[in-house]
Chains A and B, each alone.
Chain A
Amino acid sequence: MTEVIATNETILVVGGGISGMTAALEAAETGKQVVLVEKRPYVGGRVTQLYKYFPKLCFPTCGLEINQRRAKMNPNLNIISMAEVTDIKGEAGNYTATVKISPRYVNENCTACGDCGKAVEAEFDDEYNYGMGKRKGAYLPHRMAHPQRYVLDSAIIGTDDAQKAKDACKVNAIDLDMQEEVIEFKAGAVVWATGWKPYDANKIQPYGYDRIANVITSVEFERMADPNGPTGGKLTRPSDGKEVKSVAFIQCAGSRDKNHLLHCSRICCMASLKQATYPADDVPITIYYIDIRAIDRFEEFYQKVKAQENVKFIKSKVASIVENKENGNPTLHGVDTEGYNRYADEHDLVVLAVGMEPSVDKASFPVEITINEEGFIEPAPENGGVFAAGCSSDALDVNRAVQHATGAALRAIQVVNRVAATEG
């Protein structure tokens, strides 16, 4: 049974992506007791799946290493992975949270030695790589995963593979009888940092993501560029595995569109500019855009990419994509609004810069909360002791999300400090 020691002075952080991690660590390093509940088997969220950050083109795993070290060293922070908050009752300063923990089938004995992974045979789509590539039924989600503990896919439970995994483990870390748990604990304040998900590209019918192999999403392209990713860093076409010779980026794929996401997702322009630096210099790149939204200091990065000889910008909302059946090339149709010229451009690979959809479920949100038309949590006083952090509050880049999460940590601390003062 998972034990959680918590009081009304404890801060509950829901979601362990970069925002949740930040809020949790900042509060814990200010001396507060924090429980962090994360749905995935590991913390770090979508940032772990990024190859590089804009505009520095540095590696997100560098910061992840520091954050994970902070987490490992801090006794104030209790991370519960593979868990979801199903209910929160009470009021600011006195909440009771209900948390459902899915079985990992691997206990704390695990040393991440990898023996179970070698023993099992069944393979599954690797969600860490957005389904590109496979992983085993016993797996470490990624090399830097924290907690550094393997996971057994629930689909192998009851199969021979499960027993093979158990037999291979020399440290008695595999517990096939592990059951789902539901626990309850107290919290004075809640930081809600459930982040975002890439907008479902299948819903943008004219772009044919579901029909055309060489139309992919920006998050998939990011995994592809990563040398530790499914293609070993090679930018290849899904249709034939050939190296990509031209790339088109379609901006606002699902954003700024009343049929899809109303809001501007803020990051996509910069993400595409960043991704335009991934292919070799001689690969022609075309960016189809409405406005390039390079905010503040990012302008200089925009100018730098603009100066790249292989990069071309076309101001246009692409109308449709049709596959050239002979070579698998997607052909983009639309009108260049600068001069009103129609085009039908063929590219090797098309990357849809998909928008950020908030992972805030209005229908099942456990407490009364103010959510705006776009699905983000508003900073409303009626939210009581529940504070949004990062992308559950708006479409934010990492830097702004972290900044926002640090502020959310203070809001939560204000509540628990008030509790401490009255209970003092």
Chain B
Amino acid sequence: MADDKKFAGYVCTGCGLGERLDAGQLETTATRDGKMQSCKQHEMLCSTEGVQMIKDDIANDAVTHVMIAACSRRAKVEAFNFTDVALTRANLREGVIWVRPDTDENKETTQEMADDYIRMACAELKSMAKPSASGEQSLIKNILVVGGGITGMTAAIETAAAGYPVHLVEKSGALGGAVGSYYKVVPTRSPYDAPAENPIPALSEAIEADGNITVHLNSTLTKTDGAPGRFSVDITTESGTTETVSIGAIVQASGWKPYDANQLPEFAYGKSQDVVTNHELEALAVAANGGPIKRPSDGKEVQSVCFIQNAGQCSDKDGHLTYFAGVTDLVSIKQAMYFKELNGECDTTILFDNLRTPGAGGEDFYRAGQNAMVTFSKGIASEVVPGDSLTVKFEDKILNEQTEMACDLVVLATGMEPNSGPDPYAQLMVDEAEDEAEKAKAQAMLENAPPSILNLQYRQGTDLPHLKNGFTDSHFICFPYETRRTGIYSAGPVRRPMDIQQARDDATGAALKAIQAAENAGLGRAAHPRTGDLSFPSFRKEGCTQCKRCTVECPFGAINEDEEGYPMYNESRCRRCGTCMGACPVRVISFENYSVETVNQQIKNVDIPEEWDEKPRILVLACENDAYPALDQAAQAGVEINPWARVIPVRCLGSVSLSWVTDALNNGFDGIVMMGCRRDDDYQCHFVRGSAMAAERMSKVGDTLDTLNLEPERVILHEVAITDVERAPQLINDMAETVEKIGLSPFKF
């Protein structure tokens, strides 16, 4: 009820604000223009007393909406963390006095800036409500782990150990995955001096003994419906029986598949039985049953073996893998040591270019290989000639010459390919291909898509989106679990090529994220990066034109469509970026504390001086994660910003509604600067395509400018990084110069 709202403003006069600005005037602006029912000044609002004053007003005077005019919203966050009210902050310190010179001639424009920020904050507050969860959420603690290899088994055990029930689904008839069939593994504990016992049997026992883990063998997911906190998953066995389980969150550990060595005819794979891959060698070692390893062609005990590193990987040749498997040098050392252990005096040679055995364990194990008299030879193999004895031709990099060696067996150290489902954006890649070659490649990918693993009932496809080479999220360095499908975390070699130890660490990390996603979904809280955000998008159905832009453009596949084509929001899949809001041409999508209206009202409440005042106004829409902090830092560093600028932080440039631009121009703003993140393949946008989509949408701004008969230079979009401390203010100042050149907007009423 509108009557229950109570708006209170607070103006801080600390940090020089009182000296630089007319606080009485600010108070008047807040009450007269901003319609705050009360407004108080305090000499240090962030102090215990200042905070207590606000708390008391909330408690005693039933204040529901609080406007704090003080420092940046990034400062004193802990002090001003009033979770029971709608809250907005006018940035008078970093936004005004720190970016303006303290001189008499600037006093007027500085005060105008501050007054505007107060008006904007009040206007924003007027159209805001305190965010609260929808009440639709439920807490389901069950975690689903897809894939029963070492990664999935570890994820299951670690999840169960935290007290969460697990459904572990494995396609084949046994747990263990690739590692299950290995003779031994690369050691994961000090002293890293010899191949270690296979951990799978012990893990299998642990799972069997764990009452919290339900294993589904010979099973796949035939349907995954819902959202974090309320997934409904159909697990179907090979024989066709289906069980439906309720799931809170998912770990996808679907593993890897060995590279197809048939693509390496130069190494006689397929022509000689005695050329095997590293994966196949494990079977020979197991078959040896503690005796010497024998070669496949004639059962002769192997007396000399050559390992060819990087066979079909780290190469840009057609059909080869461009990346490194991450583990194959360690694997070859391990396997060379099998021969030393089982075949006595067997000659073992590893042909390598760069031997990649990183970390403490890696380097120790390399040394152990050297101590075991494995020969490491810097050389690049070009050909294997089949015969009773195999001939390996190679370039000796040390002697700089072509040479060859004879051996009984050749092992190709081939790479790992991710076992991921079809990429939901494969079609988009076809559509957006820049040339024919790229298009053909994308088309081939689309046509040869692997079967689905998750069978998600999502508008945007059945599986996790791919990064490069079919691996899944994340590409963020700081946030390896920042997935594009909320509450679904991939782990192990489906995410990136990795060794056993890393896969197990990864599984443990993914298990934590799954548990966290289930818990937060239960509370209606957003997942990373707006963790804890309780607001969620809602839409006015009567205004919706079923254009489907929101359902198509949501970076997280959060929105489904009902039969009539209306969006169906899934609160717990949503990451609160507002991309749907920016996409909506009829402006029916909003958050309680962030909407087309909250920003529009800010724009409309900037005081636009008459044309003859010659005081332009420049609207700056700045991404809250990068551009806004860059501007704050500029303020700290004392970099000047033009007094005509009015900065509004936005959740993501993807949330920017075209109407803000149009309205700002109609209201007499003279220039608009938008600042978003880097948007190439190495995109920085944590909402994936926000910055790119804004760029695309704003390309249409030209028409608007045309209609209004305004110059195109008045609206500009930049990629701004958080480090652009000098550049970000410069871009604003540049716009001020542009405006000066082309003149004021005629739309000043």
Contact check, B75 vs A53: say whether CB atoms are below 8 A apart: no
Chain A residues whose CB sits within 8 angstroms of the CB of B325 once the complex forms: 296
Q: Does A67 contact B478, Cβ atoms closer than 8 Å?
A: yes
Q: Does A8 contact B (CB under 8 A)?
A: no
Asked, given contacts A59-B721, A338-B397, A340-B398, whether A403 binds B509 with beta carbons under 8 Å apart, the answer is yes
- B364–A295 touching, CB < 8 Å: no
Give CA–CA (A315, B548) in the complex, Å. Answer: 57
CB B55 to nearest CB in A, in angstroms, measures 15
- When the two chains form the complex, which single residue of A56, A65, A73, A411 contacts B475, counting CB atoms closer than 8 Å? A56
Q: Closest CB-CB distance, A289 to chain B, in whole Å?
A: 8
The residues in B between 395 and 431 inclusive whose CB is less than 8 angstroms from any CB of A are 397-400
Cβ–Cβ < 8 Å partners of B479 in chain A: 63, 66, 402
Q: Are A59 and B636 in contact (CB under 8 A)?
A: no
A379 within 8 A of B: yes
**B506 near A297 (CB under 8 angstroms)?**
no
> Which of the 9-residue segments A109-117, A153-161, A345-353 touches chain B?
A109-117
A340 contacts across to B, CB distance below 8 A: 398
A400→B479 CA distance, assembly (Å): 10
Known contacts A30-B516, A59-B722: A295-B480 contact under CB 8 Å: no
Chain B positions within 8 Å of A338 at CB level: 378, 397-398, 400
CB-CB contacts below 8 Å: A105-130 with B: 109, 111-114
Chain A, 371-386, CB within 8 A of any chain B CB: 372-374, 376, 378-380
CB pair A65 B357 closer than 8 Å: no
A394 at the interface (CB under 8 A from B): yes
- Alpha-carbon separation in the docked complex, A228 to B723 (Å): 8
The residue from A26, A291, A376 contacting B516, defined by CB atoms under 8 A apart: A26
Minimum CB–CB distance from B682 to chain A (whole Å) comes to 4
Tell me if A359 counts as interface (CB < 8 A to partner B).
no
Which residues of A in the span 48-86 have a Cβ within 8 Å of any Cβ on B? 51, 53, 56-67, 69-70, 72-75
Query: CA A407 – CA B502 in complex, angstroms?
Result: 11
Whether a CB of chain B sits under 8 angstroms from the CB of A299 is yes
| A30 near B356: Cβ-Cβ < 8 Å | no
Distance, CA A182 to CA B314, complexed state (A) = 54
CB of B531 within 8 A of CB of A62, answer: no
Binds A, one of B231-239, B438-446, B625-633: B625-633
Q: Let me know if A337 and B398 touch, CB within 8 A.
A: yes
**A262 contacts B360, C-beta separation under 8 Å:** yes
Shortest beta-carbon distance from A76 to chain B in Å:
10
The answer for the CA separation of A378 and B190 in the assembled complex, in Å, is 7
In the complex, B537 has a CB within 8 A of chain A? no
* B203 → chain A closest CB, angstroms: 15
Of the candidate stretches A88-96, A215-223, A323-331, A413-421, the one touching chain B is: A413-421
**Residues A65 and B626 in contact, CB atoms below 8 Å apart:** yes
A87 within 8 A of B: no
Partner of A411, one of B361, B362, B508: B508
Name the distance in Å between A224's Cβ and chain B's nearest Cβ: 15
Contact with A along B350-387 (1 / 0, CB 8 A): 00001111111111100000000000001000000000
Query: Which residues from A are CB-within-8-Å of B684?
Result: 56, 58-59, 62
A293 B358 Cβ-Cβ under 8 A: yes
Q: A111-B14, A395-B359 are in contact. Are A61 and B723 (CB under 8 A)?
A: yes
B476-A296 in contact (CB<8A): no
Known contacts A296-B497, A297-B496, A339-B400; is-contact A66 B722 (Cβ 8 Å): no
Q: Which residues of A contact B358 (CB under 8 A)?
A: 264, 266, 293, 295, 395
CB distance B532 to A29 under 8 Å? yes
Contact of A400 among B316, B502, B637, B726 (CB under 8 A): B502
- Closest residue of chain B to A258 (Cβ to Cβ) is B367
**Is the pair A63, B476 in contact by a Cβ cutoff of 8 Å?**
yes
- Taken together as a complex, chains A and B put the C-alpha atoms of A170 and B511 apart, in Å, by 49
Task: Please name all residues of chain A whose beta carbon is closer than 8 Å to the beta carbon of B507 when the two chains form the complex.
Answer: 407
- The minimal Cβ–Cβ distance linking A67 to chain B, given in whole angstroms, is 7
Query: What 1/0 mask marks residues of chain B from 20 to 42 whose CB sits below 8 Å from any chain A CB?
Result: 00000000000000000000000
Known: A73-B77, A74-B532, A403-B506. Contact between A421 and B163, CB under 8 A? yes
Inter-subunit contact B512/A26 (CB<8 Å): yes
Q: Is the C-beta of B81 less than 8 angstroms from some C-beta in chain A?
A: yes
Of A264, A295, A298, A407, the residue contacting B363 (CB under 8 A) is A264
B307 within 8 A of A: no
Which of A31, A291, A298 is the one whose CB lies under 8 Å from B355? Answer: A291
For residue B164, which residue of chain A has the nearest CB? A417
Residues from chain A with Cβ under 8 Å of B513 in the complex: 26, 406
- Shortest CB-to-CB span from A147 to chain B, Å, is 9
A291 x B480 contact (CB < 8 A):
no
Give complex CA distance A108, B307 in Å: 62
- A263 and B359: CB pair below 8 A? yes
Task: Give chain B's interface secondary structure class.
Answer: loop
Number of A-B contacts (CB under 8 A): 256
Tell me whether B553 is interfacial, beta carbon within 8 Å.
no
State the CA gap A115–B547 with chains docked (Å): 55
- In the assembled complex, which residues on chain A have CB atoms less than 8 Å from the CB atom of B669? none
A409–B512 touching, CB < 8 Å: yes
List chain A residues, Cβ under 8 A from B520. 29
Please, how many angstroms separate the alpha-carbon atoms of A293 and B353 in the complex? Answer: 10
Of B189, B510, B516, the most chain A CB neighbours within 10 A belong to B516
Is A396's beta carbon under 8 Å from chain B?
yes
Query: What CA separation (Å) do A154 and B682 show in the bound complex?
Result: 43
Report whether B364 and A29 are in contact in the complex, using a CB–CB cutoff of 8 Å.
Answer: no
B506 touches A407 (CB 8 A): yes
> A228 CA to B684 CA in the complex, in Å?
20
A402 to B158, CA, bound (A): 18
The answer to whether B629 touches A65 (Cβ under 8 A) is yes
State whether A379 touches B189 (Cβ < 8 A).
Answer: yes
- The answer to whether B324 touches A372, judged by C-beta atoms less than 8 angstroms apart, is no
A277 to B631, CA, bound (A): 26
Q: Among the listed B354, B360, B362, B505, which residue makes an inter-chain contact with A376, where contact means beta carbons less than 8 Å apart? A: B360
A413/B355 contact (C-beta < 8 A), A57-B682, A65-B722 known: no
A294 in the interface, Cβ–Cβ < 8 Å? yes
How distant is the Cα of A263 from the Cα of B360 in the complex, in angstroms?
A: 4
| Contact among A51, A113, A297, A303 for B316, CB-based, below 8 A | A303
Known interface pairs A30-B516, A403-B505. Does A59 touch B682 (Cβ–Cβ under 8 Å)? no
Binary contact readout A282-303 vs B (1 if CB under 8 angstroms, 0 otherwise): 0000000001111111111001
A104 to chain B, nearest CB (A): 16
**B78 contact set on A, CB distance < 8 A:** 72
The answer to whether A109 and B44 touch across the interface, beta carbons within 8 angstroms, is yes
Q: In the complex, are the beta carbons of A406 and B481 less than 8 A apart?
A: yes
Q: Which residues of chain A are near B363, meaning CB under 8 Å?
A: 256, 262-264
Q: Which of B75, B162, B316 contacts A148 (CB 8 A)?
A: B75
In whole Å, how far is A169's beta carbon from the nearest beta carbon of chain B?
11
The listed residue (A63, A226, A410) touching B477 by CB distance below 8 A is: A63
Is B47 located at the chain interface by the 8 A CB criterion?
yes
Complex partner residue of A298 from B163, B324, B475, B686, CB under 8 angstroms: B324
- Residues on B with beta carbons closer than 8 Å to the beta carbon of A140: 636
Identify the A interface with B (CB < 8 A): 18, 26, 29-31, 47, 51, 53, 56-67, 69-70, 72-75, 109, 111-114, 140, 143-144, 148, 170-171, 226-228, 256, 262-264, 266, 291-300, 303, 315, 337-340, 372-374, 376, 378-380, 394-396, 398-400, 402-411, 413-414, 417-418, 421
In the assembled complex, 17 residue pairs joining A and B whose CB atoms fall closer than 8 Å, in A order, are A29-B516, A29-B531, A29-B532, A66-B625, A70-B531, A72-B78, A74-B531, A111-B14, A143-B725, A170-B14, A292-B354, A296-B497, A338-B398, A374-B364, A379-B189, A403-B502, A413-B162
Interface residues of B (CB under 8 A from A): 14-16, 44, 46-47, 71, 74-78, 81, 158, 161-163, 188-191, 314, 316, 322-326, 354-364, 378, 397-400, 468-469, 471, 475-481, 496-498, 502, 505-513, 515-516, 519-520, 528-529, 531-532, 625-626, 629, 633, 636-637, 677-678, 682, 684, 686, 721-723, 725-726
Q: A30-B516, A291-B356 are in contact. List 20 more A-B contacts (CB 8 A).
A: A30-B515, A62-B721, A64-B478, A65-B626, A70-B529, A111-B71, A112-B75, A143-B636, A170-B15, A171-B15, A266-B362, A293-B354, A297-B323, A338-B400, A396-B359, A398-B478, A399-B478, A402-B477, A406-B480, A406-B510
